[in-house]
Chains A and B, each alone.
Chain A
Amino acid sequence: MKTKSIINSRDIPMLVVMILFVLMFGVGSVMFRGFFSMQNFLNLFIDNAYLIIMAVGMTFVIISGGIDLSVGSMLALSTMVTSSLLEKSHWNPVCVILIVLAMGVALGLFMGYLIRKFDLPPFIVTLAGLYFARGLCYVVSVDTIAINDGFWQTMAHGQINIIGNNFISPSVIIAIVVLIAGIFISRSTKFGRTVFAIGGNEQSAVLMGLPVARTKVLLYAFSGFCSALAGIVFTFYTLSGYALDGSGMEMDAIATVVIGGTLLTGGVGSILGTLFGVFIYGTIQVLIVFQGTLNSWWTRIAVGFLVCVFCVFQRILESRGTKEKRKDTSAKAEKTPVKG
Chain B
Amino acid sequence: MVGWKSLTRNKLFWPIVALAILMLFNLFFTPHFFRVEIKEGHLYGNVIDILKNGAPIMLLAIGLTLVIATKGIDISVGSIVAISAGVVAMLIGGDLKGVPKFPIPYAMGVALLISIVAGCWNGLLVSRVGMQPMIATLILMVAGRGIAMVTTNAMVVWLYAKPFAFLGQGYWLGLPFSIYIVAFLVLLTAFVTRRTALGLFIESVGINPTAARFAGINAKNIIFGVYAFSGFCAGVSGLVVCSTVMSADGNNAGLGYELNGILAVVLGGTSMNGGKFYLLGSIVGALIVQTLTTTIYAFNVPPEIAQVVKALVVWIVCLLQSGKFRSTFAAMFGKRELSV
On A, residues with C-beta under 8 Å from B are 67, 69, 114, 117-121, 123-125, 127-132, 134-139, 142, 243, 248, 251, 254, 258, 264-265, 295, 297-301, 303-305, 307-308, 311-312, 315
Contacts and interface: CB of A to CB of B under 8 A. Distances in A.
Q: Which of B132, B141, B307, B324 has the most CB of A within 10 A?
A: B307
Interface in B257-286: 258-259, 262, 272
13 contacts: A114-B319, A121-B272, A125-B315, A130-B311, A134-B304, A135-B311, A138-B307, A264-B131, A264-B132, A295-B149, A297-B145, A311-B125, A312-B131
5 nearest A-B residue pairs (beta carbon)? A304-B143, A300-B146, A135-B307, A135-B308, A138-B304
B190 to A, nearest CB: 26
A264 B130 CA distance: 12
Interface string B121-150: 000010001111011101111110111011
Interface residues of B, number: 47
B318 A136 contact: no
A119 B271 CA distance: 14
Contact of B146 (A135, A136, A298): A298
A252 to B, nearest CB: 8
Given A114-B315, A297-B146, A308 B307 contact: no
B302 A124 contact: no
Nearest to B140: A304
B205 to A, nearest CB: 18
A297 B319 contact: no
B220 interface: no
B75 interface: yes
Given A300-B143, A308-B139, A120 B319 contact: yes
Contacts of B150: 295, 297-298, 301
B175 interface: no
Given A297-B150, A301-B143, A308-B139, A124 B305 contact: no
A119 B145 CA distance: 32
Contacts of A129: 311
A335 B318 CA distance: 52
A67 B307 contact: no
Contact of B135 (A137, A248, A254): A254
B306 interface: yes
Contacts of B304: 134-135, 137-138, 142, 243
B295 to A, nearest CB: 16
B137 to A, nearest CB: 10
A307 B131 CA distance: 11
A311 B131 contact: yes
B319 A131 contact: no
Contacts of A311: 125, 129, 131, 135-136, 139
Given A120-B322, A123-B73, A127-B75, A300 B154 contact: no
B114 interface: no
B308 to A, nearest CB: 4
Contacts of B305: 135, 138-139
A132 B135 contact: no
A303 B149 CA distance: 15
Contact of A131 (B132, B140, B146, B256): B256
B307 A304 contact: no
A295 B154 contact: yes
Contacts of A305: 143
B113 interface: no
B138 A128 contact: no
A67 B121 CA distance: 22
B82 to A, nearest CB: 12
B138 A254 contact: yes
Nearest to B318: A120
A131 to B, nearest CB: 4
B213 to A, nearest CB: 17
B312 interface: yes
B302 A119 contact: no
